[in-house]
């Protein structure tokens, strides 16, 4: 599938992706699970390139969940270091492409300070960019985000009577983030695993068998084409 079959007038504004299957990709090749995470870097950069080509404005990727702390300590340690190095290796190139880097997730909980510093530097470096917002969900959980949002509302003195959906929206990790239009998960797993729970209630879900390290811009284009074949009704009667 090339971008030719895609209607440029109906590009999803916000695409979210669960980058899953790194461990299985590696195991099938007789490699270590962590080699699968390393191989995922190329997939991410190619997906970003594809998002830029398609004119997607927001791309959010799940890099580390609040549940991923349950993994063996050496894999967790690898992922912390890997993500830190990835930012250092790639941020200039992303910056030159007009990508604004952001993070969502719990910052002040278990994440190494050095990684937090690299995150802050990358956000500051790319803050003025507007072509594509690449949000990396790190130490992220959808339920944790809702809990943290409720705490933030209470701390800022919001009264119960005044709360509606937009109030919570404004107290999530990134108040500017629009709802998800297209939600993708790789590796043939059919579950949400706590990703963007609040933002995805009316997202179109696309599941693919491709393991994350094999994911390329053409797979993103396939998912967008699938999205364009859907009839989004939002509880109404749609365009049928």
* Partner from Mg ion, ligand IPE, none contacting 63, C-beta within 5 to 8 A by type: ligand IPE
Q: How far is the CB of 138 from ligand IPE (least distance, A)?
A: 9
Q: Of 3, 68, 85, 95, which residue is the catalytic one?
A: 68
Q: How far is the CB of 65 from ligand IPE (least distance, A)?
A: 4
Nearer to Mg ion, 75 or 174 (CB): 75
Q: Of 20, 35, 181, 222, which residue is the catalytic one?
A: 20
Nearer to ligand IPE, 44 or 54 (CB): 44
Nearer to ligand IPE, 16 or 19 (CB): 19
Q: Would you list the DSSP string of the chain?
A: --GGGS-GGG--SEEEEE---HHHHHHHTT--HHHHHHHHHHHHHHHHHHHHHHT-SEEEEEEEETTGGGS-HHHHHHHHHHHHHHHHHHHHHHHHTTEEEEEES-SSSS--HHHHHHHHHHHHHHTT--SEEEEEEEEE-HHHHHHHHHHHHHHTT--GGG--HHHHHHTSS-TTPPPPSEEEE-TT----TTSSTTTTTTPEEEE--S-GGG--HHHHHHHHHHHHHS---TTS----
Nearest residue relative to Mg ion (C-beta) = 20
Q: How far is the CB of 210 from Mg ion (least distance, A)?
A: 13
* Partner from Mg ion, ligand IPE, none contacting 65, C-beta within 5 to 8 A by type: ligand IPE
Question: Catalytic annotation on 68?
Answer: yes
Binding site for Mg ion (CB under 5 A): 20
Binding site for ligand IPE (CB under 6 A): 18-24, 62-65, 68, 79, 187, 189, 191, 193
Question: Catalytic annotation on 22?
Answer: no
Q: Which residues are catalytic?
A: 20, 68
């Amino acid at each position: 599938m090339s971008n030719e079959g895609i209607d440029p007038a109906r590009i999803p504004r916000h695409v979210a992706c669960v980058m899953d299957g790194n461990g299985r990709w590696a195991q099938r090749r007789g490699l270590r699970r962590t080699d699968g995470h390393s191989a995922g870097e190329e997939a991410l950069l190619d997906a970003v390139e594809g998002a830029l080509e398609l004119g997607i404005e927001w791309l959010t990727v799940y890099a580390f969940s609040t549940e991923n702390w349950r993994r063996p300590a050496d894999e967790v340690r690898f992922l912390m270091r890997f993500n830190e190095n990835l930012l250092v290796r790639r941020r200039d190139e992303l910056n030159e492409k007009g990508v604004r880097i952001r993070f969502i997730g719990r910052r002040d909980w278990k994440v190494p300070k050095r990684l937090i510093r690299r995150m802050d530097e990358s956000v500051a470096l790319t803050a003025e960019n507007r072509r594509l917002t690449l949000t990396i969900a790190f130490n992220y959980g959808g339920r944790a985000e809702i809990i943290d949002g409720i705490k933030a509302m209470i701390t800022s003195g919001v009264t119960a009577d005044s709360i509606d959906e937009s109030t919570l929206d404004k107290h999530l990790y990134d108040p500017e983030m629009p709802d998800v239009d297209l939600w993708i998960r790789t590796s043939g797993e059919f579950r949400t695993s706590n990703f963007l729970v609040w933002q995805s209630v009316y997202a179109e879900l696309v599941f693919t068998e491709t393991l994350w390290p094999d994911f390329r811009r053409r797979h993103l284009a396939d998912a967008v084409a699938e999205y364009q074949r859907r009839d989004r009704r939002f509880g109404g009667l749609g365009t049928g």
